[in-house]
Amino acid sequence: MNTNHRAMIIGSIGAGKSTMTNALLGRKIDAVKTQALVYKDWIVDTPGEYTENPFFYKSIMATALEVTHILFIQDATNPKTIFPPGFANGFTKLPIGVVTKADANHAIVDRALRQLKQAIPKGAIVIASSLTGQGIKEIQELVQCATFEAMKAYCTQSAVNHVFFHESLYN
């Protein structure tokens, strides 16, 4: 994959960030709890604590300077979100919302989509599963897009129904 484009993965504890990282890199190993920033190839995996505690937002902001995209991970099995409304607007990087665990028995994908749409007023959203591989290729390809327009074109031309571009009316 082109290493000119890098992505930082953020989300709550247990949302599936490290598992998603392994899936995106084609690694077939079990994820372990991330304790600090982990740089793997074109991905920066962050601990959930960095996003759950506003005290650590400065670490997220500083790390964002090193990447081109930010993957906002929302667990479809978790009724809560840690992202405040419009959170993605605090970054000058291209946002990609990722609904994880979409294949779980008790997943509520529509709720996770609503939560991501509130946090990301404008950007791509992918419904994914690290176990089945759904959405993995699309996330990799979206990270290669250098502009909102390119991401929107990719989503519009996509033949799958688990990737789309979201634009808020109140941007």
Q: Report the mean per-residue pLDDT for the chain.
A: 92
Decide if pLDDT at 140 tops 70: yes
List Cβ neighbours of 158 (8 Å cut-off, separation of 6 or more): 138, 164
Confidence category of residue 171, pLDDT binned at 50, 70, 90: very low
pLDDT of residue 28: 76
What does pTM read for this prediction?
0.93
Whether the predicted pLDDT of 75 surpasses 70: yes
Of 48-52, 140-144, 167-171, the range with the lowest mean pLDDT is 167-171
CATH number of 7-167: 3.40.50.300
Average the pLDDT over 137-144 and give the result: 97
Q: Is 107 left (phi over 0), alpha (psi -120 to 50) or beta?
A: beta
Amino acid 168: pLDDT: 78
Cα–chain-centroid distance for residue 138? Answer: 12
**Pairwise pLDDT comparison (28 vs 166), residue with the higher score:** 166
pLDDT tier, 31 (very low <50, low <70, confident <90, very high otherwise): low
Residue-range domain boundaries for the chain: 7-167
pLDDT in tens, 6-17: 999 999 999 999
pLDDT at 32 over 70: no
Q: Cα angle at 46 between 59 and 51, to 5 degrees?
A: 60
Q: What is the DSSP letter of 29?
A: S
